Structure 1
């Protein structure tokens, strides 16, 4: 699994950063009209195809089936309604959010492509009932997840990436650190360099 996982709610930011070298990107759009959703998802799909990147669609598993998106991310609130049989028949992979042991157990029972743990550090992304999980939880989650890839998310910066990957995370998801950057392209390049350093350090 790619170690750097960009998460963005902007298709324009996606189209700006994928050409820089991002190979795994989640499109997380909230509260948009359905026609706009279809248009933006299609634009993201075409961009990722052009540059050989993997597109993950957040939440909208029905649109993934409709538009031929082969990877979705689902939160715990989506698990009751998602048609996992339909996703499997269409060979659509799915990643699942987890925050506590019960959620992790449920997620692993569905055989996901990855499980996500967050927030690892304090985050500006959204208000959550869970406080920062900390690096010790990253290590614990990986021990429990075993061969299932683990994505760490929440408050991670280039300076923290080596520690997070060192605890066993297979990938780090990045949202606000790039989204709020004065120069998202430069910040993305900094991230890619930081990931590359970790790769070399572990060879």
Structure 2
């Protein structure tokens, strides 16, 4: 299955209810600071939205909830890899995306045969405090040369205007959070992204 080039991330299922019907085909649910029952409920709600609209749901971090809900794609950060049962995920047929920030992390990801690799932050991000400085778009070309046919996701400080440069450097997919969620008109911003990342 080919993944869409536009990959927004939202922190609750209500965002998916609101925006997935506009034509989003690839989306991540990144729920933070909730109890396990709430997380599972959010995952199930997001799953239902995506099923109705033909959208691929990717669950961030919470691989146990993803397994319980029968989801088929999980995203793990490097710290998550320390505790996640990757063999169990693979045995269940769950696909895997992995965050990377340096060469050692990239190699660790490649050793797990990921279904995509994410590099970030490409630009400075306001989303969360990170120990990593902005990678810059040239690093995307370096990553793409190493990973070959594995899809490469560019994340961190991405905007519609910056997306073309990321694609030119080798990104297959651009992921975005605050450019949509902090927009005065998230619906219009989603439409801009779809127009910019899909061939007419």
TM-score range, shorter chain: over 0.9
Structure 1 residue aligned with 2:54 = 52
Structure 2 residue aligned with 1:156 = 158
Q: Deviation digits for residues 56-103 of structure 1, max 9, x if unmatched?
A: 000011111111011000000011211111111100001000000000
Alignment of 1:87-106 (within 5 A): 87-106=89-108
Q: Deviation digits for residues 141-184 of structure 1, max 9, x if unmatched?
A: 00011111100000111111111011110100011100101111
Match of 2:83 among 63, 72, 81: 81
Structure 2 residue aligned with 1:143 = 145
Match of 2:23 among 21, 24, 27: 21
Q: Distance in 1 between matches of 2:106 and 2:40?
A: 31
Runs of 4+ in 1 over 3 A off after TM superposition: none
Q: Distance in 1 between matches of 2:42 and 2:176?
A: 20
* Aligned residue-pair number: 198
Structure 2 residue aligned with 1:35 = 37
Q: Deviation digits for residues 8-53 of structure 1, max 9, x if unmatched?
A: 1021111111100000000000011222111111110000000000
* C-alpha RMSD over aligned residues: 0.9
Q: Distance in 2 between matches of 1:35 and 1:102?
A: 35
TM-score normalised according to structure 1 size: 0.95
TM-score normalised according to structure 2 size: 0.97
**Secondary structure of the structure 2 residue equivalent to 1:6:** strand
Note the residue ranges of structure 1 that are not aligned, 5 or more in a row.
Answer: none
**Secondary structure of the structure 1 residue equivalent to 2:68:** helix
Note the residue ranges of structure 2 that are not aligned, 5 or more in a row.
Answer: none
Q: Distance in 1 between matches of 2:196 and 2:119?
A: 21
**Secondary structure of the structure 1 residue equivalent to 2:43:** helix
CA apart distance, 1:118: 0.3
